Amino acid sequence: MIPSTKRSRGFFPFVCAPKATTAAVCLGVVLCLFSAGVFTFVPSFDTFRRKQFSSSARALSAQGEPWQEQRVDFAREREPWTPLSAFPVGTRELLRAREDARFPWHPGVDPLALGAALHSTIVHSRRRGASTLDMQVARLVFPSLRAFSPWQRKLMEPFVALALRARWGFRGVEESWLNLVPLPGGVEGLPAAAKLHFGARGGALAQLPLADIDALIAHAPRPGSAAARAWVAARQAERTSGIEKPDVLASGVSFQVPHLLQSLLEGRLPGHLSPSKSARGQTFQTHINAALQADIEKAARGELARLRGRNANNVAVLVVDNATANVIAYLGDVTRLPEPDARSAPEKPWVDNVVSFRQAGSTLKPFLYALAFEKRYITPKTQLLDTPYERAKAQGTYRPRNYDLRFQGSVSAESALANSRNVPAVRVLDVVGVPAFAARLEALTIPVGDAPELYGESLALGTLDVTLWHLVQAYVSLARAAWRPEAARTPARLVAFPAQAHSMNPPPPPVFRSPESAQEVARILSSNTLRASSFGLDSPLATPFETAVKTGTSVDMRDNWCLGFTPQHTVGVWVGNADGEPMWDVSGVEGAAPLWRDVMERLQNFHNATEGAQVSRDANFAMPLATSEPLNTMEQEPLPPFTSRVLVPEEGTLFTRDPGIPNEVERIVLSARVPKKPRGTPFLNAHRLHLNGSPLSLETRETRQGNDVLVALWPPSPGRHRLALVDSDGREVDAVTFLVK
């Protein structure tokens, strides 16, 4: 007798019919045998988890907090992989109750549910589901199963499910389901849905009530159903009406344009490897100090507000730790709107001005003078001509001008660098040579290109296009060479993302072969007295603590630069317009320098607070160099009585003849100081200057602070010369050698 249909339906699922039980047992044996072969193709759980990425790339601050976020996958919404322990307590029980009540009791395929499904289909012609958590995860882990027909897929899923359970275990399967299951609104995984609908992310996920988790799980297998759509609409209405759970709201992520992260993903960050397209949605660790970053952004916003009426709309700031070359603050532009005054929001804030190429201006001069000092072409005391300069070119006559449109005649090299005189810098480049200077810039990782001769003499004045990143990197190398001589031969490589920074193989070529040259440049750039004639004693460059600093302004005032360093940090600032539009009468000392000083002071306060030490002005810059005496020594200190020596030139000075000055009128000033000639002493019995063994005719004999200064104007001739100071008895008191080219 055939049992009634009603009795058969009521009998399941509590007790299976004998035929169904036998079929289930036989099927289970077959599944186990075939799953052993599938097992070898299933990756380990850790391997699979490492290959799962979020739909957004994230950058963490040095403190491990979310800092920047950039959407990289617009086909789905997924959060970073969340471990099972980060979900609220009781989530596993909810999941099993909703999806697979016998999950702990079967090996991945539920024989009872499968037998019941087969019996219902064969005997009663009714389809009945038998899917387990493992089988659902199998479809999510191996999306290639969707390419098969429904019957083929149903035959293959049990084998994969058994292999997954054997390889991943209970926790691996449950954790994968929670992170991969499709949810309403095109969302994948409960963490992404919790962020979207409840504002919970990271540690806030564990604080969600189980009722919210249960609601997410309930709609998970049916993301397109009417109930699911209604639930999503209710959650969106709840969010827009302001009904939020304040204890689980996301915090820490900056809703500004993620310049640093964006540049990494686009492959525009020098020295860093861009992640592959499939691995872009991961979390990247940085060295950014979130508190310092916020402080600098506040200062930059205030600077743009100050320059609002002078057509300066964009800014960039880069701060680096000199010892490690780690980037601790990175501001591509000010992008968040200040409240309540939104008028100071910058134009084109999506441009990352740290890695955008701009004209360098005078920021390259320190490296030119360092190279000239290193090769002993000049010394800081060498007198350079600051007179009209002309050089015939195929395109016309090249006539460089100083910023103030004036000439000072003869200036020392240290004064020319400190006051950023253009014409003396061009004359120094004539001596050093464009190829040698271009090679030095390349060694400092400043790209020049294959044809540096196209820049010619203008390379000294910064017609080269550079980025703030490259300039700061070069200034870090200079700072290291000045205070860490053991690192003088190694150019710095800035590190923003430790895991993405690639090592230099083979090692980079040496740079700053002579640490003394870098120390001299640092001393000159830190002297407020030396730059006083151009910048004054109370300029933004005069910080309360010692800093070496250089400004720069490009043609038509399109770019303002200010770069400087202490022994601990290097700070670079750019101010201008992202579209290259000129500013209105804004020089480097007026535009970038005030912000640079503000950042330096904030950085020094931050350093003092973290290190618990005050750094004095004198302690920072201790230059152990005999040539580091001030330029105006004769005016600052009385000359010792009866001390005779040659004043100009100093030992090893190199003079270069100016092709623009006729030979018959060109002269070099030679001078020496001697004791004051007693009244009535014949002139022939006094001290004399001898050049190459022959006496020179004196043009003047001046008296300064009780001593006489002998001055001779000598028509230069190429070659190496020896200038001697001879006393009244014919004895040589002092002598120097110099070179004329």
Helix (H) or strand (E) run with residue 648 in it: strand 645-648
* pLDDT of amino acid 669: 79
Q: How many CB atoms lie within 10 A of CB 740?
A: 16
DSSP string, 485-498: GGGTTS----BSST
Report how far residue 583's alpha carbon sits from residue 561's, in angstroms, rounded to the nearest whole number: 13
Calculate the CA 379 to chain-centre distance.
34
Instruction: Name 207's Cβ contacts closer than 8 Å, sequence gap at least 6.
Output: 88, 200, 247, 248
Say yes or no to pLDDT of 246 above 60.
no
CA atoms within 13 A on the CB side of 528: 15
For the residues 28-48, what does the mean pLDDT come to? 66
Q: Per residue in 590-647, pLDDT tens?
A: 889 999 999 999 888 877 766 544 433 333 333 333 233 332 332 333 434 446 788 8
Q: Are 627 and 711 in contact (CB under 8 A)?
A: no
Q: How remote is the C-alpha of 330 from its chain's centroid?
A: 6
Spell out the alpha helix ranges (H) of 484-552.
Answer: 515-525, 532-535
Tell me the one-letter amino acid at 406: R
| Structure-token match 């630069």, residue found | 561
How much is the pLDDT for 220?
Answer: 60
Taking the C-alpha atoms of residue 640 and residue 425, their distance in angstroms, rounded to an integer, is: 34
| pLDDT, greater one: 73 or 554 | 554
pLDDT for residue 188: 85
Where do we find the tokens 């440049």?
521
In sequence order, the 6+-apart residues with CB closer than 8 A to the CB of 464 are 359, 360, 364, 441, 446, 448, 455
Q: Spell out the residues 6+ positions from residue 230 whose beta carbon is closer than 8 angstroms to its own.
A: none
Query: What one-letter code names the amino acid at 392?
Result: A
Listed in sequence order, the DSSP H helices in 124-203 are 133-141, 150-180, 190-198
Residue 427: CB atoms within 10 Å: 23
Q: Residue 207 above 90 pLDDT? A: no
Q: Strand order in 66-71's β-sheet?
A: 66-71, 56-60, 283-285
Judged against a pLDDT cut of 70, whether residue 367 lies above it is answered with yes
3-class secondary structure for 688-722?
EEEECCEECCCCEEEEECCEEEEEEEECCCCEEEE
Model confidence at 335, pLDDT cuts 50, 70, 90, reads low
**Mean predicted confidence (pLDDT) in 583-587:** 85
Q: Kindly state the DSSP code that residue 326 receives in the 8-state scheme.
A: B
- Structure tokens given for 396: 């016309």
* Pairing status of strand 283-285 against strand 56-60: parallel
Reported confidence tier of residue 489, pLDDT bands at 50, 70, 90: low
Q: For the chain, first and last CA: distance in Å?
A: 122
Strand partners, 239: none
Q: Where are the beta strands (DSSP E) in 292-365?
A: 314-321, 327-331, 358-359
Q: How far is it, in rounded angstroms, from Cα 471 to Cα 364? A: 8
Can you spell out the DSSP letters for 570-618? EEEEEEE-TT-PPPSS--TTTTHHHHHHHHHHHHHHHHHHHH--PPPHH
* Token pair of 527 as six digits: 């002297």
**pLDDT tens-digit readout, 400-443:** 988 888 888 889 999 999 999 999 999 999 889 999 999 999 99
Task: Round to whole Å and give the CA distance between 616 and 594.
Answer: 21
Closest CA to 294 of 573, 68, 611: 68
Element at 97 (helix H, strand E): helix 91-99
pLDDT the model gives residue 30: 57
* Model pLDDT, residue 714: 86
Of residues 635 and 484, which shows the higher confidence score? 484
Q: Both tokens of residue 558?
A: 């399109």
Is 311:479 a contact under the CB 8 Å cutoff? no
Spatial contact of 648 and 383, defined as CB atoms under 8 Å apart: yes
* Three-state SS annotation for 360-402: CHHHHHHHHHHHHHHCCCCCCCCEEEECCCCEEECCEEECCCC
The pLDDT value recorded for residue 678 is 57
* The residue type at 575: V
Residue 690's CB: how many other CB atoms inside 10 A?
16
| Nearest Cα to Cα of residue 588 among 631, 534, 528 | 534
pLDDT of residue 709: 76
Q: What is the mean pLDDT of the chain?
A: 78
pLDDT, tens digit, 9 for 90 and up, residues 506-565: 666 668 877 889 999 999 999 988 998 888 888 889 888 889 999 999 888 899 999 999
Q: What is the pLDDT of residue 490?
A: 76
Q: Cα separation of 296 and 314, whole Å? A: 14
Please report, to the nearest 10 degrees, the dihedral formed by the alpha carbons of residues 212, 213, 219, 223 taken in order. 100
Structural tokens at position 269: 């960050």
Helix (H/G/I), strand (E/B), else coil: 205: helix
Angle, CA of 114, 115 and 121, to the nearest 5°? 90
Say if pTM beats, i.e. exceeds, 0.75. Answer: no
Higher pLDDT, 655 or 575: 575
- Cα(156)–Cα(37) distance, integer angstroms: 12
